[in-house]
Copies of this chain bind each other. A is one copy, B any other.
Amino acid sequence: MGIFVDEVYLFGEAAKLKLTKYELGGKGYGLVEMTSMGLPVPPGMVITTKMCNKFFEKKRLWASMRAKVAAKLRSVEKETGREFGNPDNPLLVSVRSGAPFSMPGMMDTVLNLGMNDRVAESLTTRKDMRFAYDTYRRFLQLFGSIVMDVERAKFESILNEEKFRKGAKTDAELNGDSMRSVAFKYKNLIKRETGRDAPQEPQEQLFMAIESIFKSWWNKRATEYRRLYNISDKLGTAVNIVAMVYGNYDPKSGTGVAFTRDPSTGEHRFYGEVLINAQGEDVVAGIRTPLHVDKLREVLPDAYSELVRTAKTLEKHFRDMQDIEFTIESGRFYMLQTRNAKRTPQAAVKVAVDMVREGLISKKEALLRIEPEQLEKLFHKQIDRRRGLTPFAKGLPASPGATYGKIVLTDAEAVSARERNEHVILVRPETTPEDISGIAASDGILTSRGGMTSHAAVVTRGMGKPCVVGAEGIAIDEKAMTVTAGTTKLRAGDVVTIDGSDGTVYIGEAPLIEPKLTGDVSTVLKWVDGYRRLGIRANADTPAMVKKAMENGAEGIGLARTERMFNSPERLDIVQKMILADTPQQRQRYLEMIKPMQKGDFKEMFKLAGGKPFTIRLLDLPLHEFLPKLDTILPEVTELRITKKGSTELKEKERVLSKVMQLREQNPMMGQRGVRLSLMYKEIYEMQVEAMVEAAIELLGKSKVSLEIMVSQVAIAAEFAAAKEIINATAERVFKKTGKRIEYKVGTMIETPRAALTAGELAKVAEFFSFGTNDLTQGTFAFSRDDIEAKLMPFYISNKILGENPFSSIDVEGVGKLVAMCSREGKKENRKLKVGVCGEHGGDPKSIEFFNTTAVDYVSMSPYRVPVARLAAARAAIEGEKRSTA
């Protein structure tokens, strides 16, 4: 883009300069390319995107640009043999916007520009009145509504009135007189509404239209769209001025849009619609029912075969499925637009695979054509159509997929509904480990509090179950059994649909699409592993999750959270007692009860992992999550103190309350967690290490185990070293007792900024690092996710303080800087150090792209995200390769 870009180019000129989409806009680029390919494109010109910004500076069109447009217009006149503004041989043009990325809300198209009273009169004589005034009234309608801001509906109602008066069903049935009358009424309408006449002078029309297009760059909808898709405001739009060809010229004329393949399924068959004797906007307006494009074969066979030939040529040239617009004027075929077609996830996969088979693209290119997010959708149920659905609330998309069910407010109701085979959505303010049976029994979860790492979010992602959290707009009244959002009150038993992929909740049962896993998907997933540099592991806490991870192609388990293994009611009870223990002896006793359970879990999971690396994180107890909430127990005790003074019930509750008060922390996220707690109560680590080492030893000779033991919440190298000492001493005791040894590695999570900053020191003692990017993001920003994500984040994003949620996609400048620095420094100190990412970003395609540029060796994510991550990792590697060879 370093070359000098002039203001205006004829299509033919631009083709020679090899200008890109960034200068020509998407539409212009397509027209220029097609012109250079020799396809039948009407002559025309592009005003480049750079002029858009210049216009915003100058606030008006400037002389040199006007002059150039006029000059190029003379070339178009020459080529068409017509003359702009000459009533006897008029050149009409279409004026269309064209930004580098297609953008809804931008001003679109003014057709038939150059029409005026005299041209219409003359055309009436030279062709016929109907064509003349149909063309004129089309111009007035588009110019009036788009450029002069007259409400579109007012034009429609004039036309409808005329049809009603004449008993015509479609405008095709209106004759020349009617069209003339409509055109005059349009002129009056414009005068009445704007106080001025629609300009008669074609040049004036043209420059007004150009200005209008530039101004529409700042349309509310366009601006919003750019914000949403992170498109720079600086790009600007181009303007295309193209000689008109008339789909409304006669019955051998027509206009159509088509896809070179089926955009819904990806099947290799022509797909599109044609309207005979019509202009472009009629297709969109849905005034007449269009024909399937195949019908054209019968109606206009020559045009049809040219269309088919052109489509093939285009696919070969652009090496992708195209979305095209064409017009046929008196049997002659013209191309008006081509672009890479939007497609469904299913189509994206099929088209990519087919095109490889057809020899059109390479496998690498095919992978770049499939967005990881598209692939993900194939693995979950999705809402089919949203039109007609009644939104109820909006929360955070905590676990993807859509589902529906009756509202239940308690775990017990969920369980009993499940027994009756009913679909249910469990709606809670937030969930705790105590709710695990309720979560298991439900089809989906909706909570009013909590962020993307709240209990509900983490557990459901693990289960692959849809979940929406932090829907702050809803109020749950358990006694009244209602859920209220704004003025809408739902009752337990009412049906809602939740979409965990975007966080919306709808009233009633929405139509869902089942996941579609075709052979093409497995083909794609076979390809990806050949290209990626990053290893892919999964976060799995249960045998079911390990199994799913292996099925989905994980190369190991990057994070097995032992505290999640306590998520069953009978275990939870023991864990609570362990926490409430008053003496180390008591605690030891409960630990002894937990140990066989953990050992059993480990054995089962080790077997399923079949010798692949298996990283177990030692207890990272968020103690408060395993105890009653203060705002539950405190009112209970207060009430008992008044109503049941001296009762044993009160005494027991008071004991729990005093423990809750004692363990309560001001900022639990930065409190006594992980290694901090475990160094003080080392019997917990000892129990866990015994359980995992014994499990591995009992499998010796039966199943290979590649054990990696991970310590959490480390901020100081000495902290990790102390933990490692406990681990090694415990393992040695087991070896001595059993007379058998196993190999294992000991490593640390990197989830505090200080751990990242002191990577060199840590790498001296740790055998692997694993970034806990959730907590690292929290610490680096000092953002408490639970407090910030639902309240502050939307405000920050809509005010452009943040480009996107740093908990969804890694913050490259801050957190990413730490990740890059730490992985580099760590490996400098310890060449054998393995570095992974096990935070949520491990499964996010954009983040994977970033990790691919660092010294990170592998990423680990929910088993359900594994396929997506494999694709994302491959794409990152291919993109990286492209950049480095560019």
Binding site for B on A (CB under 8 A): 630-631, 634-635, 637-639, 642-643, 661, 665-672, 676, 679-680, 713, 715-716, 718-719, 722, 751-754, 757-758, 761, 775, 778-784, 786-788, 791-792, 795-796, 799-802, 811, 813-815, 817-818
| Chain B residues, CB < 8 A from A783 | 670, 715
Closest B-chain residue to A754, C-beta based?
A: B814
| 9 pairs, CB–CB < 8 Å, chain A vs chain B | A666-B668, A667-B667, A669-B782, A670-B778, A670-B781, A680-B795, A716-B796, A716-B802, A757-B813
> How far does the Cβ of A474 sit from chain B's closest Cβ, in whole Å?
14
> Contact at A802–B718, with CB atoms within 8 Å?
yes
> Contact at B757–A679, with CB atoms within 8 Å?
no
Cα distance A672–B643 when bound, in Å? 39
Chain multiplicity (copies): 2
Cα distance A299–B679 when bound, in Å? 64
State which of B752, B781, B817 has its C-beta within 8 Å of the C-beta of A782.
B752
> Contact at B718–A758, with CB atoms within 8 Å?
no
| Chain B residues, CB < 8 A from A811 | 754
> Contact at A786–B667, with CB atoms within 8 Å?
yes
| Chain B residues, CB < 8 A from A795 | 679-680
Having A667-B668, A669-B670, A679-B801, one finds 18 other A-B pairs with CB under 8 Å, namely A630-B634, A631-B634, A631-B661, A634-B634, A639-B642, A665-B784, A666-B668, A666-B786, A667-B669, A669-B784, A670-B783, A672-B787, A715-B780, A715-B783, A718-B800, A718-B801, A722-B799, A753-B780
> Contact at A757–B784, with CB atoms within 8 Å?
no
State which of B638, B784, B788, B818 has its C-beta within 8 Å of the C-beta of A639.
B638
Closest B-chain residue to A821, C-beta based?
A: B757
> How far does the Cβ of A683 sit from chain B's closest Cβ, in whole Å?
15
Cα distance A883–B788 when bound, in Å? 47
> Contact at B792–A670, with CB atoms within 8 Å?
no
| Chain B residues, CB < 8 A from A670 | 667, 669-670, 778-779, 781-784, 787-788
> Contact at A792–B672, with CB atoms within 8 Å?
yes
> Contact at B676–A792, with CB atoms within 8 Å?
yes
Cα distance A666–B789 when bound, in Å? 12
| Chain B residues, CB < 8 A from A801 | 679, 716, 718-719, 722
Cα distance A814–B825 when bound, in Å? 14
Cα distance A786–B664 when bound, in Å? 11
> Contact at B716–A784, with CB atoms within 8 Å?
no
> How far does the Cβ of A776 sit from chain B's closest Cβ, in whole Å?
9
State which of B671, B722, B802 has its C-beta within 8 Å of the C-beta of A788.
B671
| Chain B residues, CB < 8 A from A814 | 715, 753-754, 757-758
> How far does the Cβ of A640 sit from chain B's closest Cβ, in whole Å?
10
Cα distance A799–B792 when bound, in Å? 40
Which of A671, A713, A802 has the most CB atoms of chain B within a 10 A radius of its CB? Answer: A671
Cα distance A358–B164 when bound, in Å? 117
Cα distance A791–B668 when bound, in Å? 13
Which of A642, A668, A799, A801 has the most CB atoms of chain B within a 10 A radius of its CB? Answer: A801
> Contact at B802–A780, with CB atoms within 8 Å?
no
Cα distance A800–B788 when bound, in Å? 36
> How far does the Cβ of A415 sit from chain B's closest Cβ, in whole Å?
28
Cα distance A638–B657 when bound, in Å? 15
> Contact at B752–A780, with CB atoms within 8 Å?
yes
Closest B-chain residue to A643, C-beta based?
A: B642
Cα distance A783–B800 when bound, in Å? 30
Cα distance A656–B382 when bound, in Å? 43
> How far does the Cβ of A839 sit from chain B's closest Cβ, in whole Å?
14
| Chain B residues, CB < 8 A from A781 | 670, 715-716, 752-754
Pairs of residues from A and B, 7 with the lowest C-beta to C-beta distance, nearest first: A667-B784, A670-B784, A754-B814, A638-B638, A753-B753, A752-B782, A671-B787
Cα distance A799–B675 when bound, in Å? 14
Which of A635, A718, A787, A817 has the most CB atoms of chain B within a 10 A radius of its CB? Answer: A787
Cα distance A631–B679 when bound, in Å? 30
Cα distance A857–B813 when bound, in Å? 26
Cα distance A150–B783 when bound, in Å? 62
| Chain B residues, CB < 8 A from A639 | 638, 642
Cα distance A722–B787 when bound, in Å? 21
> How far does the Cβ of A589 sit from chain B's closest Cβ, in whole Å?
24
| Chain B residues, CB < 8 A from A779 | 670, 753, 779-780, 782
Cα distance A795–B672 when bound, in Å? 12
Cα distance A754–B802 when bound, in Å? 13
Cα distance A783–B814 when bound, in Å? 19
> Contact at A757–B631, with CB atoms within 8 Å?
no
Cα distance A666–B788 when bound, in Å? 10
> Contact at A754–B780, with CB atoms within 8 Å?
yes
| Chain B residues, CB < 8 A from A672 | 787-788, 791-792
Cα distance A788–B673 when bound, in Å? 10
| Chain B residues, CB < 8 A from A813 | 757-758, 761
> How far does the Cβ of A232 sit from chain B's closest Cβ, in whole Å?
15
> Contact at B715–A787, with CB atoms within 8 Å?
no
| Chain B residues, CB < 8 A from A761 | 813
Cα distance A667–B802 when bound, in Å? 21
Which of A672, A761, A780, A811 has the most CB atoms of chain B within a 10 A radius of its CB? Answer: A780
Cα distance A718–B801 when bound, in Å? 5
Cα distance A680–B667 when bound, in Å? 23
| Chain B residues, CB < 8 A from A715 | 780-783, 814
Cα distance A781–B716 when bound, in Å? 8
Which of A631, A761, A818 has the most CB atoms of chain B within a 10 A radius of its CB? Answer: A631
> How far does the Cβ of A161 sit from chain B's closest Cβ, in whole Å?
49
State which of B630, B642, B676, B758 has its C-beta within 8 Å of the C-beta of A630.
B630
> How far does the Cβ of A19 sit from chain B's closest Cβ, in whole Å?
33
> How far does the Cβ of A680 sit from chain B's closest Cβ, in whole Å?
6
